[in-house]
Structure 1
Amino acid sequence: MSYRLKQSKSKNSVSFFIISDYTNPETKKRSTEVVEKLGNQTYWFKKLNTNDPSVVVAHLKKLAKEKDDQRKAPGSNLVNVVLDENKKIPMDAPIYNVGYLFPNKILHMLSIKGICEEIEAKYQFKFPLERIVSDLVCAQVVFPGSKRSVFREVKKFFDPITYSLDDIYRSLPILSSERYFIESKLYDQSSKICERDTTVLFYDCTNFYYETEDEDDFRKYGKSKENRPNPIVQYGLFMDSKGIPLADIVFDGNQNEQASLRTLEDKIDADFKDSKFIVCADAGLNGFENKIYPEQFIKTDKWPETPLKNVFPAILLFTNQVSVNRSSFLYNVIRTNNQERILNNDTHPEQQYGRFYS
């Protein structure tokens, strides 16, 4: 806010101040702060060699405006730091990590504080969710690790910690239950920062193993990407055409990853309402049900035995019909009451005819 002159009148004197308006970050109320004390009226009478209060006020208003112009001038907020290359740093001097300030700035641009405040108002808890989320995200960028190691390392951040390790664990189930609300809000905010193109969405899955041999309700034995004999969890991610994450899903390690595509598409349909998009996925997600589920589907495949110049790209674009490889047999896709049914087809036509083409 701009600087302005304030007069404080008492019984025997008038004092002058340069003040500035600001919003209190805790109370959210507007207030003022004193930028500089200018002395009283008697002092300025002597300094300006006058007895006219209006002359003093006019002079001080001009002075306040000059200081405000200096504050707004380019480079006025630069700070010169003089370092002595011969001076040794004490061994017990505090060391701070400021690398987190860069991802933290991005989180602020995405209005993560407002998102967390909505969640805090819903659940009525006391720990600072925004600070926990920011620290967890920034720590995974600066020094990836477990929740416990993050809590240990964030003590090196310049900002002091205002929560406990137990508060981190308490926040996790809440963040899990509100994940799609957070993703939707982040998408809305990111659209204000950069252009998002959701006409084509890319989807793929991976899985993560755990250093244990015991299964539970979440970690299950399944096909590990690393061929590890350990329980795994599956993870699927949708990205937009620019490679920016859009939505994700985590599911049990013993589930087929093809079903996750349809589950996450339901969430995207709800978030984007009437948005039309094309799904692009690899052969691992190329089940027949997935091909007819979205409005349009792109399948990518590789051709190790056939020269590319002799074949069309392995791409399938679905609209209202499906053509089958090496056959003129036509499958009509009928959409009725949000249910898909195939007419004149065998039980598993993709097994009988192989790959599909446009």
Structure 2
Amino acid sequence: MTRLFRFLLAALALASAPAAHAERVKDLGSFQGVRPNQLTGYGIVVGLAGTGDDSIQYATEGMKGVVSRFGLTLPPGVNPALKNAAAVLVTADLPAFAKPGQRLDVTVSALGKAKSLRGGTLIMTPLRGADNEIYGMAQGNLAVGGLGVSGADGSQVSVNIPSAGRIPGGATVERAVATGFDTAPTLTFNLAEADLTTALRVADGINRAFGDKRASAVDAVSVSIAAQPGAETRIMMMGMIENIEIAPADAPAKVIVNARTGTVVINGAVKIHPAAVAHGKLTVSVNESPRVVQPAPFSQGRTAVEQSSSISIDEQKKPMVNFKGGASLADIVKAVNAIGASPADMVAILEALKQAGAMKAELVVL
């Protein structure tokens, strides 16, 4: 048994050891360079049942480009009616390590006034990356989940979005993207959410798994890992690092408030310092009850309308709630329910607690 093989077995055993309330490193972020890339293309969908772009200029130019591939040149000044065709944008994600010949799912969306892409076929469309290089070719029949129907009187019925569709496996990878992970001086693992404590724990977990000091936290997001060059060695190391389990840091205290819907979300880290909250509601009602007054017989009087108003004031008596120091999320919810506060009232209470310094948490208002 070689030394490298024994080392890998020991590291894998340590990496697979379960930890209480732990999460895998692969669920906390990703390695730098190992990511998908966005691809975009401009194409033409044909075979529509009169729901295309008609004679829009960019659709016409796109059709001229399509037919020119087959040696057909339209006479100058001739703009064909394209009710059965539509100009579209094609988008796809190129996964990391994708190789030529692999298939990708693509999304096709109408660019102009096309009413529906149902029944259409995308003509061969190059997909380009941010560097304007071609990384894939897309073609195929669209699967459209929407439906649009219009009547002669202008009435329309639309279900979902008929001007967009997908082609499962509709693109073929033509060029691979170099990730550079095998030639970079070090491997870098980036957390999905910045947290200094979690970054330190990831570095410590890697060092404990491999029995050395190869990992160090660079900042709240990145962990730098020393690794020998070579794709095979680094792939094995990355695979074992992804399965190391650590206990991430607790989320910071945060309260999310959606003022439009009255939704309030409080995470478990929120604590309340000693405070007293009184919640009341004052309702003023004014009722108008006019009545008709008839004059006495032979009095030469006139019928008149006599106004009668009734004003009532209703003030609900709500108890004052005393929050003891260190009140938890359960205590907050129980107290707010006890005083009968609505979601909108709860938003006001939380804002007041924040202003009073009794709630040490980030208040996010959407």
TM-score, normalisation: structure 1: 0.23
Give the structure, 1 or 2, with the largest relative contact order (CA under 8 Å, sep 6 or more). 2
Name the structure with the higher strand share: 2
TM-score, normalisation: structure 2: 0.22
